[in-house]
């Protein structure tokens, strides 16, 4: 019997685990569950004999791949796969996949939810501002970006997007205005919603010049990765602009300094919450289980992210 490990330091909703189990049962695969683990050794032991593995932001390092003697496939149940060591996967003959789109609406809802929270001054009782008629710039028009656009339009916002990998016509069809440069996006929009992945090109790429070019009442919404922000320069923007606000899923490394000096101008989730809904967990977890079975049984490599 083939074994599939679901290793989630931050567990899926119980309903998602139940549905993953159902999918695996039907295919005659066994579910091995490792939730809320605190030691790397627990993960190293759990992967020893499994054929497939589903993780969330859990780190799949070379050590994990080396410990997993039977592993054929690892699924990142979600979008960003910066937590997987792709080279180690390839070297270990392990296919790595993500489940694009499956948790995107949850992330987008959080992005707009945090925007409202900031516009209303963290619900401090004082007069805030509204989102209607404000411009929101979507930095990277992928699955999450598209949902953010849809929801933002519902708020009556004017939606712009920058994405060098998506053609302008596709963006226009959604009633969104494409812009040609990242500089134009930031200098035009009071709200920016970040959806770029964290990789060698994007890490620390959002810094002083872009943020400082934002119009008055600037709010940066980050449901992507904290690593894409240049934190030293973020602090400089906070120091120089009284109107600047930052909401992020999850907190930056410099959160204590921000909390100490810029009270009321930020909100950070205590734990990554974007994809933390029952619906997103079910969608991503079940997709992951199906992808494992389809790969092992039929060799289907759709959504493979390593070479």
Are the beta carbons of 73 and 296 closer than 8 angstroms?
yes
Q: Which is nearer to ligand 3PG, 73 or 144 (CB)?
A: 144
Least distance CB 246 / ligand 3PG (angstroms): 18
Site string for ligand 3PG, 95-114 (x = CB under 6 A): --------x-----------
Determine, following the binding rule CB under 6 A, whether residue 94 of this chain makes contact with ligand 3PG.
Answer: no
Determine, following the binding rule CB under 6 A, whether residue 32 of this chain makes contact with ligand 3PG.
Answer: no
For the chain, what's the residue count? 307
Structure tokens at 89: 């996967």
Q: Which stretch binds ligand 3PG (CB under 6 A): 75-83, 146-154, 232-240, 254-262?
A: 75-83
Neighbour-count burial of 164, counting CB atoms closer than 10 A to its CB (0-12 exposed, 13-18 middle, 19+ buried) = exposed
Number of residues that bind ligand 3PG (CB under 6 A): 11
Determine, following the binding rule CB under 6 A, whether residue 178 of this chain makes contact with ligand 3PG.
Answer: no
Q: How far apart are CA 38 and CA 18, in angstroms?
A: 23
Q: How far apart are CA 114 and CA 128, in angstroms?
A: 14
Structure tokens at 200: 């060698």
Determine, following the binding rule CB under 6 A, whether residue 142 of this chain makes contact with ligand 3PG.
Answer: no
Looking at the DSSP bridge assignments, the partners of residue 23 are: none
Are the beta carbons of 298 and 95 closer than 8 angstroms?
no
Site string for ligand 3PG, 273-292 (x = CB under 6 A): -xxx----------------
Binding site residues, ligand 3PG, CB under 6 A: 10, 56-57, 78-80, 103, 272, 274-276
């Amino acid at each position: 019997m083939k074994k599939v490990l679901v290793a989630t330091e931050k567990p899926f909703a119980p309903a998602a685990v139940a549905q993953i189990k159902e999918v695996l049962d039907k295919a005659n695969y066994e579910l091995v569950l490792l939730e809320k683990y605190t030691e790397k050794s627990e993960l190293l032991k759990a992967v020893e004999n499994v054929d497939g593995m589903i993780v969330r932001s859990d780190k799949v390092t070379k050590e994990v791949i080396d410990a997993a003697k039977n592993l054929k496939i690892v699924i990142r149940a979600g979008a960003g796969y910066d937590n997987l060591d792709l080279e180690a996967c390839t070297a270990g003959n392990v296919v790595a996949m993500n489940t694009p789109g499956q948790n995107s609406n949850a992330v987008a809802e959080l992005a707009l939810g945090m925007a409202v929270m900031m516009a209303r001054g963290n619900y401090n009782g004082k007069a805030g501002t509204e989102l209607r008629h404000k411009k929101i710039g979507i930095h990277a028009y992928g699955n999450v970006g598209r949902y953010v656009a849809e929801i933002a339009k519902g708020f009556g916002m004017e939606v712009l997007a920058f994405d060098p990998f998506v053609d302008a016509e596709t963006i226009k069809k959604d009633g969104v205005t494409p812009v040609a440069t990242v500089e134009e996006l930031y200098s035009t929009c009071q709200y920016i919603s970040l959806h770029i992945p964290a990789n060698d090109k994007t890490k620390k790429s959002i810094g002083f010049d872009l943020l400082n070019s934002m119009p008055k009442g600037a709010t940066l919404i980050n449901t992507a990765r904290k690593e894409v922000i240049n934190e030293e320069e973020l602090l400089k923007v906070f120091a120089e602009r009284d109107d600047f606000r930052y909401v992020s899923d999850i907190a930056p490394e410099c959160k204590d300094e921000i909390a100490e000096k810029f009270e009321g101008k930020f909100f950070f989730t205590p734990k990554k919450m974007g994809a933390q809904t029952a619906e997103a967990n079910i969608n991503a977890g079940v997709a992951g289980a199906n992808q494992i079975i389809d790969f092992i049984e039929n060799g289907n490599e759709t959504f493979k992210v390593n070479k």
